[in-house]
Amino acid sequence: MTTTIIITLCSLLLIAYLFDYSFKKTKIPSVILLLLLGWLVKQGTMLFELDLPDLSNILPILGTTGLILIVLEGSLELELNKDKITLIKKSFFGALAPLLALSFLLAYIFEMYGGYSFKDSLINAIPLCVISSAIAIPSVRNLSTSNKEFVIYESSLSDILGVVFFNFVLRNDTFGFNSFGVFGLQLVIITLISFIATVGLSFLLSKIEHHIKFVPIILLTLLIYAISYVYHLPALIFILIFGLSIGNLNELHNLKFFNVFRTDILNKEVQKFKELTIEATFLIRSLFFLLFGYLLETSEILNTTTLIWSIGIVILIFSLRALQLKLSKLPLKPLLFVAPRGLITVLLFLSIEPFNVIGLVNKSLIIQVIVLTALVMMFGVITSNPEKAEAEQRKAAEAKTNGEDIKSTVKAS
């Protein structure tokens, strides 16, 4: 039995790797294929009447671990310098504005249609409003550099802002001066913890000479996150600060404090750490979606009652996204299509307490929204032309530069 499980797991993960590897040609988001593969495995176990233990309790553990690694991977990829300020502003707006607007709009609709309390409606709406970096980032590898960077920033920030917003609403009965004051204090505390922990972890990363050095760093990162979460602190802020700090050592080398770390040596270790994080993220993400697909019931996927709601929510998602991109003066194609829901949506949905659950938001609705947004993204990626987009952006940049030069010349004369 043990050997069979090992063979099955290895085979499934190798297939998941093939899905990821073949994306460049197929342009089919791996999440759809992983969910389908997990569902097919479930049908196989039912066909051959195999008796497997209940695996549903493992899903939240994989989801939380995957969330931490995904945010860490995304923050390690983000560059912080003067050239990126405009991009960061647009990405932050792109992550925050649709999250808040869609959350409150859906909450109002749920409250009016179902007669639920506004707080319960909002708690159930937020998971549907978070862009999944777990799906978005791997799916935009073929896009132009600027579009790819925007998606990395936007989806990573959406994950963090979505989780922080969800926990804030979940843990506060009322929203007033006290709740916002406590939240502000929590932000200050987690920022201090993040700074101290980042310094400590960076020191360990540069000083450990044992042949096993990266696994303890990842385990300590998970431990600090878990302890912070237990004390109701926005723990993902720590992951973001840690990833941004060690991923942007070149920008921090002017600070005398960081000279103690020998940034030239630490940079090499960070690169190795980044590679390990990417591979660990792939492993956990693949296991999560395979297990989620395995736990799906066919009746939940084909639920026609929730399908109308799912389509309506997806239309709202992309309508607001189109408005946001227009306001940010960003190209609609292909960015309009890249707003998938995924791991964070499932994880937040599973975190809702039973007494906060509303009937309109169930597993059928969640999986249908995930699949529909992934299909829309697949269409956008397939029909996009990265070479043409790169050329157009270069022309626009050159035109802008030439225009500024002409203005300067006229002004000087």
Task: Give the integer Cα–Cα distance in Å for 85 and 361.
Answer: 38
CA separation (Å) from 22 to 138, 381, 409? 12, 14, 51
Residue 176 pLDDT: 81
Q: Which CATH number fits domain 14-412: 2.40.40.20, 1.20.1530.20, 3.40.50.10710, 1.20.140.10?
A: 1.20.1530.20
Residue 409 pLDDT: 58
Q: Is the peptide bond before 334 cis (omega within 30 degrees of 0)?
A: yes
Residue 130 pLDDT: 95
Residue 411 pLDDT: 58
Residue 393 pLDDT: 57
pTM reported for the whole predicted model:
0.85
Residue 378 pLDDT: 87
- CB distance 202 to 255 below 8 Å: no
Provide φ and ψ at 195, rounded to 5°: -65, -50
Q: Name the stretches of the chain with pLDDT < 70.
A: 1, 251-265, 385-413
Residue 88 pLDDT: 86
CB hemisphere CA count around 125 (13 angstroms): 26
Residue 174 pLDDT: 79
Residue 319 pLDDT: 95
Collect contacts of 21-28 with beta carbons under 8 A, ≥24 apart. 23/138, 23/139, 23/141, 24/141, 24/142, 27/142, 27/378, 27/381, 27/382, 28/378
Mean model confidence pLDDT for the chain:
86
Residue 389 pLDDT: 56
Residue 100 pLDDT: 95
- CB distance 135 to 340 below 8 Å: yes
Question: How many CB atoms neighbour CB 341 within 10 A?
Answer: 27
